[in-house]
Amino acid sequence: MHKFLPIAYFQNQFLPFDDAKISIATHALHYGTGAFGGLRGIPDPQNPEQILLFRLDRHCKRLSDSAKYLHYDLPADKIKTIIVEFVKKNQVKTSFYIRPFIYTSDLGIAPRLHKIEKDFFVYGLELGDYLSPEGVSCRISSWYRQADHSLPLRGKISGAYITSSLAKTEAVESGFDEALLMNAQGKICEASGMNIFMVRNGQLITPGYDQDILEGITRDSILTLAKDLGIPTIERPVDKSELFIADEAFLSGTAAKITPIKRIENYELSKTRPITEKLRDKITAITENRDPNYQDWVYVVPLG
């Protein structure tokens, strides 16, 4: 069981997490008509009286965009104000994860997005490593990622996560740590809740936005950093056959950070991962606000 932060935001107010309850008839519970975000907060290693939020604006914008698919007008600025207030009210002194969520809160039945009540809540939980930082084994899932023509994959739509759940359970129950999903074209697109990168011949390669991926914020950050570090980078479709023989491969996500891939199916990858480690060191320094060149990616919330 997770350790939840004491205060949540729910139905336009801050209240104890335990008092934020919804009905079993809630529309979104039945139809997957929700959208969420996920961001980490960490105590500033240089000053424990402040919390650091990585790329807060970008997270708020993605959630505001996801809300548009649900026919809900929720400006990014409003999300930002509530998240900052949420962090101040909770006064956490450990690493945590913030889960903002938009959903159809109506108690009526029938799938739809028009003329239906919606709500926005935020809660948090303490979170250390989501996947082992030492690396993970991956199975290529028999479940394919949905296509953008049937679901708006640019948003973090809750209903979409049935596929991630099927894939993750299939992988874990067959002895792997994580699942890699292909898209309808049979190209590798991402993991159950992370984007994927591989390195071949010194080049960093990741599937592009046309490959049915989530527009991951860690992914976007890594691409920027790689360019700044002079690592040749390309966004293009990825075949499973090249992943099996990649020099390095890793997963990226807010929860997973940068997690190396040790093995894909029955193919072992090298334990020497210079580019993965270089990017991991860089992003860790940035999230901890130790890199003066990327301070605009870090939002500082004073707790006092």
Which residues of the chain form contacts with ligand PMP (CB under 6 A)?
38, 156, 164, 190, 193-195, 214, 216-219, 252-254
- The answer to whether 144 and 187 have CB atoms below 8 angstroms apart is no
Question: 106-109: long-range contacts at Cβ-Cβ below 8 A with a sequence spacing of 24 or more?
Answer: 106/26, 106/27, 107/23, 107/25, 107/26, 107/27, 108/27, 109/25, 109/27, 109/30
CB closer to ligand PMP out of 44 and 178: 178
* Placement of tokens 């000053």 in the chain: 47
CB closer to ligand PMP out of 7 and 39: 39
Instruction: State the amino acid at position 152 in one-letter form.
Output: P
Shortest Cβ distance from residue 227 to ligand PMP (Å)?
17
Q: Measure the CA dihedral 208/129/87/252, to 10°.
A: -10
CB closer to ligand PMP out of 106 and 177: 177
CB closer to ligand PMP out of 80 and 219: 219
Shortest Cβ distance from residue 63 to ligand PMP (Å)?
11
Shortest Cβ distance from residue 201 to ligand PMP (Å)?
25
CA distances from 48 to 121, 288, 304 (A): 27, 11, 11
Q: Is the dihedral of CA 173, 175, 180, 185 positive or negative?
A: negative
CB closer to ligand PMP out of 41 and 253: 253
CB closer to ligand PMP out of 275 and 283: 283
Shortest Cβ distance from residue 190 to ligand PMP (Å)?
5
Shortest Cβ distance from residue 258 to ligand PMP (Å)?
10
CB closer to ligand PMP out of 99 and 262: 99
Shortest Cβ distance from residue 115 to ligand PMP (Å)?
29
Can you tell me the distance from the alpha carbon of 49 to that of 246, in angstroms, rounded to the nearest whole number?
43
CA distances from 253 to 201, 264, 266, 298 (A): 24, 18, 24, 16
The pairing of strands 47-54 and 39-44 is: antiparallel
- The answer to whether 103 and 33 have CB atoms below 8 angstroms apart is yes
Shortest Cβ distance from residue 131 to ligand PMP (Å)?
12
